Structure 1
Amino acid sequence: MEKLSGQELIQQAGQLIAENKLDEAVKIFGFLVEKLPDAYLPLLSRCTCLIQLERYEEAKLDAEKILTLQNVPISDDIAPGNSTLHSVGYIRLAKCYKELGQVEEAEKLIKKRQELEKKVKSNKDVKNIITNLSDESDNENAIPEKSSTNKVAEKLRLQGNDLYKKQKYKESLEKYLKAFEINPNDLLVNSNCAQVYLKLGKLDEALDHAETCIRLNSKWAKGYYRKGCVLLEKKKFQDSISAFQLAKRYGAQESDLEKKID
């Protein structure tokens, strides 16, 4: 795992989940949790996998750890019906308590989640949620489905494009990075990240995203063009020419390509 990037590991874990190889996915998420202790997605994903594996004591520890992290807003695609990280933490922890036979504790957690979401319900509603908790948790994927992920990432990317056109580069970068967090394997998101990092003079970050484009699609001209532009700014002229020539080979349409090569 040490040789793979975080993006590659997440992609691999998603494939394992799709193949119902949850034990193997748990190992990958565990590795990411150790490397990125303050990142919530690997922890949340591992917690959900453990619940699906009925390893409730372990999942309980993860859910408790989630509640110690900063309570940040989350996309509805990550956990439908929950708008904050702690909301998901409460619902996951309640699921564990319920399955471990501690229904009263589960009810308390559901109430806390409802207060957090500002959706106060009657005690009867809480009982109904406890009854249906298995279905609610089991139907939530550890990683958003590809179609939903693409839709959210694309919306954020387009918002970033609008800000970029207004020369609000830092604001556009925030949108692009949110899109990247949701779908790190989106070609256009990585291309946009590369461009705005280049504009901000953060060349190493720009190069990382340009190379990610190439890794995702080795015949996509824009990836080589982005890489060439970054290398040009880094004054690595021979490498830059090689990247531009590959961009030309694969049909790049940029009007300044020939000028840059010259």
Structure 2
Amino acid sequence: MYLPSFSLDGKLAVVTGATKGIGRAIALGYAEAGADVVLIARTLEDLEKVKKEVEALGRQAFTICNDIKDYKKIIAKVDELLGERPIDIWVNNAGVNIRSQALDVTEEEWMHIVDVNMKSAFFLAQAAAKKMKGNNKGKIINVSSVGGHMALRTGVVYAMTKSAIIQMTKNLAMELGKYSINVNAIEPWYFPTALTETLLKDEAYVNDILDRTPLNRIGKLEELVGTAVYFASDASNYTTGQTLFVDGGMTIYGF
């Protein structure tokens, strides 16, 4: 057999920020590919909605209602919920952005963005790796952003954290490879999410985005799922430390 398996049958995936946008799409994509899913988010009502959607696809869904910044509590809840059941896939998706200009960023904004996007992502990845290490396998997938690679007009702290996620992915891949743990990242461009909702209502802003996007359109959330499934499946067993752009070609744009 030369075509590796993209199936996630029998696997367990944990997804943070799992109730909206990219996180929800990935969670449902994993369920469709055969995985049971642990959904982590702050709002119980939203968690219950996505739980039902996962179950409608024939898979088990578990929920953890918790602020991502309180990562120690999340780790404890995961341990309590799963017991000895191994984690096969961990997706660090939860993120936040405050689009302040650099000269206007406050310390409170800086700390909030760093805590959500970077600090929590690292310590949750660390906890996942400790569990995966015992099974000598696992997939950690970090959701970065094109903003971690290209300069943005606003959101300098967000861009800093997303750049850090790319480097974190490389270093974790280096350290965890000996345990057969793969660590990769996804860098999306513009997709319809809570973070982009207001911007995508601005026709002039959207037109500017499209002018720099060879495919000349905003991405559809389902178009991220294939990349997430690839990184989670056996098809990516020899791929680690990589960041894959899902950006409509924006990062090849020449000025």
* Coarse TM-score class (shorter-chain normalised): under 0.3
Higher helix share: 1
Give TM-score scaled by structure 1 length.
0.26
Give TM-score scaled by structure 2 length.
0.27
